[in-house]
Structure 1
C-alpha cells in the first residue's frame, strides 16, 4: 500500500450515502443546468464568507479568468503576482491578454512579499493578485492599503485557502473579488472540476454572470460582451452544498494532523511550516523544507510513501513564460524553495496509523540521507 500526499477514498466511504443522494437529488430534479443546486450553493458559499455574491463556474482557472475580465483587466494591463504558485494563476492573466509581473515571496511563510510590490508598479499596473498559498493568507491589510493608494483592483487567489482567516477576517473578503477552485484535492473539493468567485461588488457580480454564459443575460439570449461557457453544473453544486456544511470539520481535522506533524518532527532538521501572526492556517498542504529534498523523496519511496512538490518549477522559469524575460536568479527565494520544499500527506481523512507511518519513515530517512 502506497501512502500518497492526497487520497479521497476514505472520505468518500464516510460520506458515500450523502454524495450519492446529492447526485440522485439532481437527477430527479428535472434541472441539470442552472437549477436550484447552483443557486443554492452560490447563496450558501456567499453566506459562509459574509459576502454579498458568489458566482459558480466550471473550474478555478476560469474563476480567475472571468474575475479578471469582470474587473476590466485586459490587453496592455499588468497584473502583479508571484511565481511560487500553480501555473493556472499566471495562465489566467495571460488568457485575458494582460502581462504577469512577479515579486518574490517571503522566507518565513512562502507568501507574496508585499514590501516588493510598490517597486514593480508602472503606469500599466491595474491589478494585484495575491495567492493565499498552502492554506494561509498574504498580508492583506498592507496589500489593500497599497492598492487603495494607487487605485488598483485586488483579486485574491483563494484556491488553497478555503476557510482561512487573517485577524478574524475570512480569506477572499478583503479585495474586490476572490477566485476559488473546488478541484478534488482542495480543502472543499468537488468530484471533478468546479470553481467560484466571491465579491461584494454588484457590478462585478453581474459581469461574472454574463461572462460565464457566453456574455448573455440568461433570460434574453443576447450577447452583450462575448464571454465563455463556464457554468458550474448542478451535480457538482449539490455535492459542494453538502460538503460546505462539513467544511469547518475538515479544517479542524487538518489542524489536528498538522499539530501532530509539528510535534513529532520538531527535533529534526526539517524546516516546518510557520504560521504568520494573525493567520489561521487551514493546511491545504503541509509544506516542509530540506536541502536534501530529492534524496529524501527517493528514500521514502522505498517505504511506500510517495510525496509531492508544490512547486518544483517556478512559473517564471517555465519555457511557456520565457517571453516575460525573467532570468534565473531574479526571484531568489522562490527559486531556492523550488529546490527544497515538499509536501507531507494532508487530507482530513488521513488516519493516525498512516500519519505515524509517514512520521516514522521520515525520521528514519532523515538520519541516513
Structure 2
C-alpha cells in the first residue's frame, strides 16, 4: 500500500507522528505462518530462520556477511570490540546523533571524540572529521542520520590517510545508497538497529552487523554468543562475550518486511517531496539531500528559528511532531567530560530541528493536512 490515498481533505484530520499498524497488517499473514512454524519447531533463539534472514540482509546490503544481534547498540559495541578498539583508543562520532552511538564507544572502553556536522545535511563532513582526528584516533563512526548516507568517498579518503577504521552507524538508513552503494557496505562494517520504528523494524529489539570481512564476522558470532567457539558449546575463546542473540520471531518478522522495504522507502520519498514543495521558505527549511545520496527518509526534519511556535501551531491543527535531537551528545551529562570544544552547528541544530509525521502508509488526507498546517503556520509567521 502506498501513501497519499485520494480523498477530500478534512480540517479535523489528526496526524500521528508515526503509525506502525498498517505495516504490521501488511505482513500479518507471513508473521502468523512464521509463528506457527516456530511453535512447531520450538526454535526460539537463533536457528535457520535467523540464518536465512542474515543471508537475505547481507545480499540486500551488498556485503558477504551479516551477523544478527539483539539490538542496534550491541551491533555498534560488538563491532568496536571485534575490531580491537578499547581503552586508550579514540573514536570520532558526530555529536548530532542518537546517544547510542557515543554510548557504544564508552561501553567499549574507548574515548569519544566529538565532531561537528554540515549545516545543510546535518552529517559528518571530511573537514569536521579531519578537525577531530588525533594521534590516538582508531576509528570513526559515520552516522547516516535521518536516512541519508554521508559522503563515504570523501570521508574514507580522510580516514585512510590517517590510518583510521571506518564503521557505519546505519541504524536510520535501511536501504539508503551513496552513489549506488547501500548503506552499511562501504566501511569496515555497517551497524543496524531494527527497533520497531525503523524503516525495517522488528516486533521488539533486534539489530545486525554487515561486513565483507569474514574474520570480523566470525569474531562477532562468537561475541554475541557468550564468546563460544563455533561448534563447541562448552568452550569459549579468548574474548569475553555477551548474550546478544536475535530471537527467531524477530527474524521472521524482518524477513517478511524486507520484501516490502523498497516500496515503503519509495513512499517515504514521495511524502517528503510533497512536504518540501509545500513548505513556506520563510517558515523553515528541510534537511538537504546531497548529490550522490539517495535518502530513505527515516525522519522528515525541518530547521526553523522559532521551533516552539511552529510545534504549537502544528499541534493546534492536529499534527504531531518530534525532536531529533534537542540535546547534542557532547552536552549530555554522562559525556560532557569528553567534550573539549564548542560544536556550533550541532548546538544550533539542537535548538532548531523539528520532525514531521512520516510513515509509508500515510493517507493523502494526512499528508495534505500536514502541508496545510505548514502553509497556515507560514501565513501566521508572515
Name the TM-score, length of structure 1 as normaliser: 0.96
Q: 2:77 aligns to what SS in structure 1? A: helix
Q: 2:196 aligns to what SS in structure 1? A: coil
Report the CA distance between 1:150 and its aligned residue.
2.1
Residue aligning to 2:302:
288
CA distance in 1, matches of 2:241, 2:16: 39
Q: 1:61 to 1:182 in 2, by over 3 A?
A: same
Q: Does 1:180 align with 2:192?
A: yes
CA distance in 2, matches of 1:366, 1:25: 53
Instruction: Tell whether the 8 Å contact from 2:286 to 2:303 is kept in structure 1 after alignment.
Output: yes
Question: Which has the higher mean CA deviation after the structures are superposed, 149-158 or 176-185?
Answer: 149-158
CA distance in 1, matches of 2:155, 2:101: 18
CA distance in 2, matches of 1:302, 1:19: 38
RMSD: 1.4
Q: 1:222 aligns to what SS in structure 2? A: strand
Instruction: Tell whether the 8 Å contact from 1:268 to 1:363 is kept in structure 2 after alignment.
Output: no
Q: 2:45 aligns to what SS in structure 1? A: coil
Residue aligning to 1:65:
77
CA distance in 1, matches of 2:280, 2:28: 37
Instruction: Tell whether the 8 Å contact from 1:166 to 1:279 is kept in structure 2 after alignment.
Output: yes
1:160 pairs, out of 172, 177, 188, with 172
Higher RCO structure, 1 or 2 (CA under 8 Å, sep 6+): 2
Once the two structures are superposed, the pairs formed by residues 306-345 of structure 1 within 5 Å of their partners are 306-326=320-340, 330-345=342-357
CA distance in 2, matches of 1:82, 1:161: 16
Instruction: Tell whether the 8 Å contact from 1:136 to 1:161 is kept in structure 2 after alignment.
Output: yes
Residue aligning to 1:114:
126
Residue aligning to 1:150:
162
Instruction: Tell whether the 8 Å contact from 2:92 to 2:112 is kept in structure 1 after alignment.
Output: yes
Instruction: Tell whether the 8 Å contact from 1:70 to 1:204 is kept in structure 2 after alignment.
Output: yes
CA distance in 1, matches of 2:267, 2:174: 14
1:223 pairs, out of 225, 228, 236, with 236
Residue aligning to 1:275:
289
Q: 1:296 aligns to what SS in structure 2? A: helix
CA distance in 2, matches of 1:137, 1:108: 13
Q: What residue ranges of structure 2 are gaps of 5+ in the alignment?
A: 1-12
Instruction: Tell whether the 8 Å contact from 1:162 to 1:187 is kept in structure 2 after alignment.
Output: yes
Report the CA distance between 1:268 and its aligned residue.
5.0
User: Paired residues, what number?
Assistant: 367
Report the CA distance between 1:325 and its aligned residue.
3.5
Q: Does 1:18 align with 2:26?
A: no
Residue aligning to 2:313:
299
Residue aligning to 2:93:
81
Once the two structures are superposed, the pairs formed by residues 200-239 of structure 1 within 5 Å of their partners are 200-220=212-232, 221-224=234-237, 225-239=239-253
Report the CA distance between 1:3 and its aligned residue.
2.2
Q: What residue ranges of structure 1 are gaps of 5+ in the alignment?
A: none
Residue aligning to 1:245:
259
Report the CA distance between 1:299 and its aligned residue.
2.5
CA distance in 2, matches of 1:275, 1:120: 24
Name the TM-score, length of structure 2 as normaliser: 0.93
CA distance in 2, matches of 1:334, 1:4: 27
Q: 1:33 aligns to what SS in structure 2? A: coil
Q: 1:72 aligns to what SS in structure 2? A: coil
CA distance in 2, matches of 1:325, 1:121: 14
CA distance in 1, matches of 2:325, 2:194: 19
Report the CA distance between 1:10 and its aligned residue.
2.1
Q: Which runs of 4+ in 1 moved over 6 A?
A: none
CA distance in 2, matches of 1:94, 1:30: 37
CA distance in 2, matches of 1:237, 1:155: 24
